Structure 1
Amino acid sequence: MSQLPVVKSKWRYLILILGFSFLYAPMIFLVIYSFNSSKLVTVWAGWSTKWYGELFKDAELHQAILRSLTIASTSAIAAVILGLLAAIVLVRLGKFRGENAFAFMITAPLVMPDVITGLSLLLLFVSLGELFGFPASRGMMTIWLAHVTFCTAYVAVVISARLREMDKTYEEAAADLGAGPLTVFFKITLPMIYPALLAGFMLAFTLSLDDVVISSFVSGPGSTTLPMWIFSSVKLGVSPKINALATIILLVIGFAGFFAWWVLSRNEKRRFKELKHLKLAN
């Protein structure tokens, strides 16, 4: 069998360096300029950490961070529950009348522009407020409902893919041994699709924490989230304080990514050792 030509080592390193530079050079400059003592981002005036101090003194920023984390975590939990139910209906209940329409309505937010989604949700909340008095005003509740709406679509797709590829023989064996439907679901199905649930939660949490367009439509006074606060601050000009905030976010994400990689790597090494011992034993 003929082998594909291997790119020379120096060209591989050059392509790798160019690729990483394109991806991470802007972040490196952002981190460097977060220590700029000047108020002007484009003018370097020496090293300073005063903008980090200003960042921790900003009470409005603290409220925006707490508000964003609260909305993101609660909306992610609700999206996982609703997405799990939707995935079970799509994958496990078989054919039923309106199945195609249900699948289309579940996945519609995936391809819908954020502007259209935000505007439609705004009109919905205004109409509901006039007809039923709920929601009485736009705020954290309307932002939470909007985030649950579009996050559920992403979670349903992730869990549906896992359910389709899952081996049903374990569930059938448990049912043959006398386990009821709920016991099979909680003892067999949920543990097997747990990675998909976790992935869906993290995806929904990230999407909710990052959203600014839809939140701008459905928010009200006193419900500014972190992305909205950053966007409104940048309108007046990029401040080194924003760079400091972005540096902290990059640091947190970097530690979280490194911790996830470390856990996965450790589990992979342990699984490899177990397989090696089994082979030696056989």
Structure 2
Amino acid sequence: MNIRRFPLTREISLFVLAYLYLPVFVLIAYSFNANRTATVWTHASLDWYVRILNNPSIRAATWNSLVLAISAATAATVIALLAALATRRAFPGRNASETILRLPLILPEIVVAVATLILFVAVGIELGLGAMILAHTVFCIPFAYLPIRARLDGMSGTYEEAAQDLYANRFRTFRRVTMPLLWPGVLAGFTLAFVTSLDDFLTSFFLSGPGTTTLPVYIFSAIRAGITPEINAISTVMLVISILLVSLSFALTRLRR
């Protein structure tokens, strides 16, 4: 088939990629700047990375972010796993159930954050780490659900049928057959949910309480006083962690054994 390409397709694509990623590379480069002014380069230095390691406020925010991300990702993965197993078979209302599970991906995050804040205040839930874990669990469910469901759709049901023919009950079949085959999808879903929770700002900003500041909220508060290489260093570390975890998730989804 002779399909005429749109003129300047390559040039436009390169421009869009440069527009999206060039600021990220600039941020990474200036995180090694020895000058306190973020936009004035003097010479390369690792002092800002040493400072963020020795800053107690940053360590506390990092701890809060890790506790929040691990708790929310674990709960969301368990719920997503149960939901994926439940929606594997056809039943009345299956399409509606899957739509509800994917709803957090469609709704604007600012709307979800404000609605969650109003709900928690109305029912008397104290704002803080517990409230953030509940909220993060909800919007992380679809990120964990999609890889697990994709893995389930690629699995043949003959393995489970063979296990049941050999007199294995449902629990034993799940533990010895289904879960080992499903494990790469579960790990990929957990990784995506963890990265999503770790990088979230809006929900954490609305629901955080005293002493529960996360890294994204800390960065937002710090840039009000001006952008420094310290902020660039924190952002670079978070960027590297996110890239590594997403790459791990992508590799796990391609795992076949």
TM-score by length of 1: 0.78
Cα 1:250/1:177, change in 2 over 3 Å: same
Distance 1:224 1:184 in 2: 43
Instruction: Please state if 1:192 is matched with 2:181.
Output: yes
Distance 1:80 1:237 in 2: 38
Which residue does the alignment assign to 1:115? 110
Within a 5 Å distance, the mapping from 1:14-163 to structure 2 comes to 24-92=21-89, 94-96=90-92, 98-129=93-124, 135=125, 137-163=126-152
The aligned amino acid for 2:130 is M
Distance 1:261 1:158 in 2: 10
What's the CA shift for 1:128? 1.8
Within a 5 Å distance, the mapping from 1:171-190 to structure 2 comes to 171-190=160-179
Which residue does the alignment assign to 1:167? 156
Partner SS, residue 88 of structure 2 = helix
Give the gaps of 5 or more residues in structure 2. 5-9
What's the CA shift for 1:73? 0.9
Q: Percent identity?
A: 38
The aligned amino acid for 1:112 is L
Cα 1:143/1:261, change in 2 over 3 Å: closer
Q: Deviations over 1:135-158 (max 9, x none)?
A: 3x2100000000100111222232
Cα 1:87/1:30, change in 2 over 3 Å: same
Give the gaps of 5 or more residues in structure 1. 6-11, 130-134, 272-282
Greater shift after overlay, 100-109 or 187-196? 100-109
Distance 1:54 1:234 in 2: 16
Partner SS, residue 91 of structure 1 = coil
Which protein has the larger Cα radius of gyration, Structure 1 or Structure 2?
1
Which residue does the alignment assign to 2:7? none
Cα 1:165/1:115, change in 2 over 3 Å: same
Q: Deviations over 1:234-281 (max 9, x none)?
A: 22221110112233334545666788899999x99xx9xxxxxxxxxx
TM-score by length of 2: 0.84
Q: State the aligned residue count.
A: 253
Cα 1:102/1:68, change in 2 over 3 Å: same
The aligned amino acid for 1:235 is R
Cα 1:59/1:15, change in 2 over 3 Å: same
Distance 2:243 2:113 in 1: 31
